[in-house]
Structure 1
Amino acid sequence: MLVIIGALVVLACVAGGYVLSHGHLLALWQPYEFLIIGGGAFGAFLTANSPKIVKASIMDTLGLFKGPKYKKQDYIDLLSLLYDIFSVIRKEGLLGLEAHIEDPKASSIFTAYPRLLREHHLVDFITDCLRLMVSGSMNAHELEPLLDYELETHHHEAEAPAHAVAKMADALPGFGIVAAVLGIVITMGSISGDTSAIGEHIAAALVGTFLGILLAYGFVGPLAAAMEGKVKEDSKAFECVKVALIANLRGYNPKVAVEFARKSLSSHARPTFLDLEAHLNGARG
């Protein structure tokens, strides 16, 4: 929602200031300038990126209008899932997890949280880490750097669409200059004609520069920043899992390990201790 509000504020302030300065809005309507700048930037975007990045950029842009992927209730479910996993480890040992991690969709632990079960990347991350713990007999010092490498790779891939859109934003002022130069070429071609027509051509050329800068810094650049911010926020779920697993390997009991994970969450999305405790008591009851 803030993406829409921000864009409207930019439009209202820029257009409003222009009109209040006795400018004419119709003078800014230059569809061919839009074609040159927008089409050129989008074409360069397609050239520079793989189909996977292009598709992910579109999906991430649409995702901004849906809000964060994981809300407070999702984090309560995630922490409860981790608690259930650690309880099985405490009662049955690591081997008691084998059936659950080999087929999460048939697991009584994972199927208790259908919303999380649909998050394939998160479930795969959890089960892969648990497989290492079951089969590799890894201690916390060995597992932690491995998880850091995996999270770094995940973050890099997840942020790639935002970086691609940011590069397109950087290119927009350049395409604005291209449009302006083409406008000057047209102006030079009609310099022997009507003086008023020359003025219109120069105005159109300057609009090209204006549009390139406005689109870059008023819309596309902030959009890329919002995409990157959403990726970082959504990645907190993976960080939460990592912290909980490391705490469990260090010998903390399930409640304390889950508390370590809860503390790693952003304050606005973090469930309170009492909320989580009530949920766990309700699940056990």
Structure 2
Amino acid sequence: MDLLSIIGFILALIAIFGGTVLKGSGIAALWSGAAFVIVIVGTVAATLLQTPMAVMMRAMNIVRWVFFPPDLGSEAVIEKIIEWSQVARKQGLLGLESNVEMESDPFIAKALQLLVDGSEPDAIQNIMEVEISTREELDLAAAKVFESMGIYAPTMGIIGAVMGLIAVMQNLADPEYLGRGIAVAFVATIYGIASANLFFLPMGGKLKGVVQTQSKVREMIVEGIVSIAQGENPRNIETKLQGFLN
């Protein structure tokens, strides 16, 4: 659980609703069905138009990482790699065959299988780097979906405000409608700017950070596997991998 994200989300809500109350408007003043349809639904529609299906599905799958990022267990991974290096020195690479079947992470299992199969260190590195690059590219594209929403939302807010003011201008003869109509028009602007700067853009930034951290851990795993293939000393491997944690 990412405590900072949860605190940030709560503070964002406090900033919006608390500020509205302190200004004397009341929370009810923030609700407008028309503004919601124009801004939020419009933002989603624009995002769907520009996003491939695979990227959108991936974005929906990883959005939970904002609050619950995957536990990478870097220290535990290093311990496993050191253990594998010790087994390889004593029993040879074939001694690791049973570990491939026991490994639950598909990425680690693939790298370990390449090692057991006797692949050259350069071949292991090249194959796994393609895997890292492909995963990172898809996940970053998914994270950018929320950044795109953060770009579209303020513009949709302006559109909503203009549409609201048009409605006000059409009812100038009704003084009672003017104040209420103008207030509702500006609610759309709040929806657009607040959703972009308090939610969509920060979510995109957080997800990109998680993706980059995952890639770093995968690079560490590949470095460890390649080091085993090169026959390096387990102690040297541990020292090298600990550098990734810094």
TM-score normalised per structure 1: 0.74
Counterparts of 1:6 and 1:253, CA distance in 2? 45
Does residue 183 of structure 1 match 2:152? no
**Secondary structure at the residue paired with 2:42?**
helix
**Secondary structure at the residue paired with 1:251?**
coil
Asked if the contact 2:115/2:225 (under 8 Å) is kept, the reply is no
Letter in 2 for 1:138: E
Q: Identity over the aligned pairs, expressed in percent?
A: 28
5+ long unaligned stretches in structure 1: 111-116, 118-122, 268-285
Q: How far apart are 1:187 and its partner, in Å?
A: 1.6
Residue 5 of structure 2: aligned partner: 3
Letter in 1 for 2:155: G
5+ long unaligned stretches in structure 2: none
Counterparts of 2:205 and 2:233, CA distance in 1? 39
Equivalent residue runs for 1:15-54 within 5 Å: 15-54=17-56
Letter in 2 for 1:227: L
Equivalent residue runs for 1:1-285 within 5 Å: 1-70=3-72, 74-98=73-97, 100-101=99-100, 104-105=101-102, 110=103, 117=104, 123-135=105-117, 137-140=119-122, 143-191=124-172, 193-265=173-245, 267=246
TM-score normalised per structure 2: 0.84
Give the number of the structure with larger relative contact order, counting CA–CA contacts within 8 Å between residues 6 or more apart: 2
Counterparts of 1:39 and 1:221, CA distance in 2? 17
The verdict on how the C-alpha distance between 1:79 and 1:180 changes in structure 2, with shifts beyond 3 A counting, is same
Number of paired residues?
244
Q: How far apart are 1:146 and its partner, in Å?
A: 4.4
Q: How far apart are 1:213 and its partner, in Å?
A: 0.7
Asked if the contact 1:3/1:64 (under 8 Å) is kept, the reply is yes
Counterparts of 1:20 and 1:127, CA distance in 2? 56
Q: How far apart are 1:54 and its partner, in Å?
A: 2.9
Counterparts of 2:15 and 2:98, CA distance in 1? 59
Counterparts of 2:121 and 2:64, CA distance in 1? 41
